[in-house]
Amino acid sequence: MPDPRRILITGANGTLGHATARYFLEKDAACQVFLGVRERRETAAALVAAFPDRAFLCPLEITDAESWTTALAQIEAASGPLSVLINNAGYHDDALLATMTLPQWSGVLDANLNAVFLGCQAAMQPMMRQRWGRIINIASLSALHSPAGQTNYAAAKAGVLGLTQSLAKETARMGITVNAICPGHIEGALPANWSEDQIKAVKRETPMRRFARPEEIAAVVFFLASPEASYMTGASLKLDGALV
């Protein structure tokens, strides 16, 4: 394993990205974490202030191939080749298919699926050179158990699972593992339009009677990025408190 591990987390200003970055910084005193940010950067900047020697902002528009090239070149010049990529950034834009606009469809496909392709492709060179790498793609339970109103998001996230499985086979003999995570609902990151009653109802449906804490998802990402996870590749892990 490269020492230190250089980790890029996309969407690191968001709820899960931030929690994941913090988890790595707290659990591995040697690692360097590059926080992929687009416009908003307040929580990522707070992490940089807390870990000034090991956390760095990394401007990155995940749907733009050139932005990936620039970001990875900057990481390499500042520190060395990337060893862990966490494709976390994404969003949903729900609508019934009958009324979904093409930009709603394409935007979600671009950010949640095409961007994962771009990120994985950009990470291949540095990881192949090191003959070591870890790619963790954050998909969603919607990929496996797709609710109405999410045809775009469910298709994108299901695509991520297929990409993960196929790429894992391509990189299996290069020391590079590729896995995906399918979180259910995450505390602190619920859809803004959910009412208190709706939240209570979904919790009641969940056998654990609660949503995941972001740290509980981060802990699994941390394991997948570890040297101990060396035989786990091409997997899609459901983290949903047994909801489905």
**Active-site annotation, residues:** 153
The one among 95, 128, 155, 189 contacting ligand NAP by CB under 6 A: 189
Tell me the per-residue interface mask from 13 to 52 with ligand NAP, x by CB under 6 A, - otherwise: xxxxx--------------------xxx------------
In sequence order, the 6+-apart residues with CB closer than 8 A to the CB of 130 are 2, 81, 83, 175
Q: For the CB of residue 96, give the shortest distance to ligand NAP in the complex, in Å.
A: 19
Total count of residues recorded for the chain: 244
Cβ–Cβ under 8 Å, residues 239 and 212: yes
Binding mask 83-112 for ligand NAP (x = CB under 6 A): -----xxxx-------------------x-
Tell me which residue has tokens 């606009």: 101
Structure tokens belonging to residue 99: 């009324």
Restricted to residues 158-187, the positions that interact with ligand NAP (CB under 6 A) are: 183, 185-186
The answer, yes or no, to whether the previous bond of 4 is cis (omega within 30 of 0) is yes
Q: Give every CB contact of residue 163 below 8 A, 6+ residues apart in sequence.
A: 113, 116, 117, 120, 137
Residue numbers 199-228 binding ligand NAP by CB under 6 A? none
Q: How far is the CB of 118 from ligand NAP (least distance, A)?
A: 10
CB contact at 8 A, 11 and 90: yes
Contact positions vs ligand NAP (CB under 6 A): 10-11, 13-17, 38-40, 60-63, 88-91, 111, 138, 140, 183, 185-186, 189
